[in-house]
Amino acid sequence: MASLVSSLLGSPVRLRVYLGFRTSGTLSSNGRLGQRRSCPGEGAALCRRTASPRGNGARGFFSRGGGPFENQKTLEDIAEDIRERRYEKVVVMAGAGISTPSGIPDFRSPGSGLYDNLQQYELPYAEAIFELRFFHHNPRPFFALAKELYPGSYRPNVTHYFVRLLHEKSQLLRMYTQNIDGLERLAGIPPEMLVEAHGTFATATCTVCLREYQGEELRADVMSGTVPQCPTCRGVVKPDIVFFGEELPRHFFKYHTDFPQADLLVVMGTSMEVEPFASLAAVVGASVPRLLINRDPVGPFAGRRRARDVVRLGDVVEGVRALVDALGWTRELDALMAVAALKAETKTEK
C-alpha cells in the first residue's frame, strides 16, 4: 500500500494516513508540495481520510471544482458515446470492490476481511502488516497474506474483462488500480496500460542488496509458507507491494499526462479513502464526464457533483453488466471470458 510526501517530479511521492496527529505536506494539482495536513508519524504512509467526504462534498488534493446539474448524462448516454467512439481516451480507476466478486476478501470488512483473518499472528494493530518496521521484525504475517493473494489463486471477473475490451477497442488510455492481486494482468490488460498504484506481486526486490526478482521466482517459497531469501545476501525478498512509508511507483506519475488527456473517467469499486489515489478523480477537466459504478457514493460523487457526472449505485458487477448491455458488448464480453476460463482449466489440468 503506500506513502505520500516529497515533491512530485524530482522526488518520489509518499502516502499518509489521515488520523489527525502531526502535519505533513500534501500535493496540489500542479504536482508541487502544497498545504500541510495532519498525519501520524515521521515519513508515514498510505493517506487515509478519517472523515467521510459525503456530507461536505470534499474536493480532495487535485480538485478543479464542480458544476450545476444542467444536461445531466445517464448510463445509457455514456454507453452510446463509448459505442460511437466519442470517447477514445478512457481512464479507469478501480479499488477492492472489483476484486471481491472474484472471492478476494475486502481488507476492511469486519469478520471476513483479510486483516481480521490474520489476527492469529498477534499483530499489534491491523495495518502493521503493511509497515516496514514490523515487516523487518516479523515478515511472516505479510507472507501469509501474500500466499492468499498471490496471482493465480483467483480469477478475474466481468469488471476486469470490461476494461480489457476497452483496451482491445483502442479506447483505454490507462487503468489506475489500487489492487495488488494482479487480476488486471491476468485478464489480459497489458502492464503498460496499468498503473498499479499500490504495487504488484509481479516483481520483487531484496530488502538488503536490492537485487531484483520476478514474482514467479518467489512463488514456490510463498506457497509453501517459507519467507523468500536472497541467495546473494540472505536478505528477505519482498514483493514490490508499496508499504506504509515507501515511495509510490514512479509510473503513478503518469497521471500528470493521462488525466488531462482523458475524455471519460470510469471509477469502479473504491471507497476513495486512500490518498493521493482518491483525489485523482478531480484531475480530469471539468467538462469530462465521470462515471461511478460503486456500492456507495464516494469522494467527489458524494457531495456536489459535476453536471456530467453519472452515478450507478449497487452491486459493481451488476453495474458493469448494465453498462456492457447498454454498449451492446455482452456477446463479446462473454466470449472473452469463456476463452479465458478454458485456458485457465487447461492450465490447471497440466
What is the per-residue pLDDT for 203?
95
Confidence at residue 113, expressed as pLDDT on a 0 to 100 scale: 55
Q: All 3 cell numbers of residue 211? A: 537485487
Q: pLDDT at position 123, please?
A: 82
Q: Which residues are catalytic?
A: 198
Which residue ranges in the chain fall short of pLDDT 70? Answer: 1-71, 106-119, 347-350
Q: What is the pLDDT of residue 349?
A: 56
Residue 103: how many CA atoms within 13 Å on its side-chain side?
8
pLDDT at 304: 85
- Cell, residue 44: 508515514
Q: Please report the pLDDT score of residue 342 as a whole number.
A: 87
> Is residue 20 helix, strand or coil?
coil
Full-prediction pTM beyond 0.95?
no
> What is the model's pLDDT at position 210?
97
Alpha carbons 343 and 178: distance in angstroms, whole number? 26
Q: Summarize pLDDT for 160-184 with one digit per residue, the tens.
A: 999 999 999 999 999 999 999 999 9
Cβ atoms 248, 242 nearer than 8 A:
yes
pLDDT at 149: 84
Q: How many CB atoms lie within 10 A of CB 319?
A: 23
CA distance 16 to 279: 13
Give the whole-angstrom CA distance, residue 183 versus residue 29: 30
b/e burial code for range 204-230 (CB count within 10 A of at least 16 → b): bbbbeeeeebebeebbebbeeeebbeb
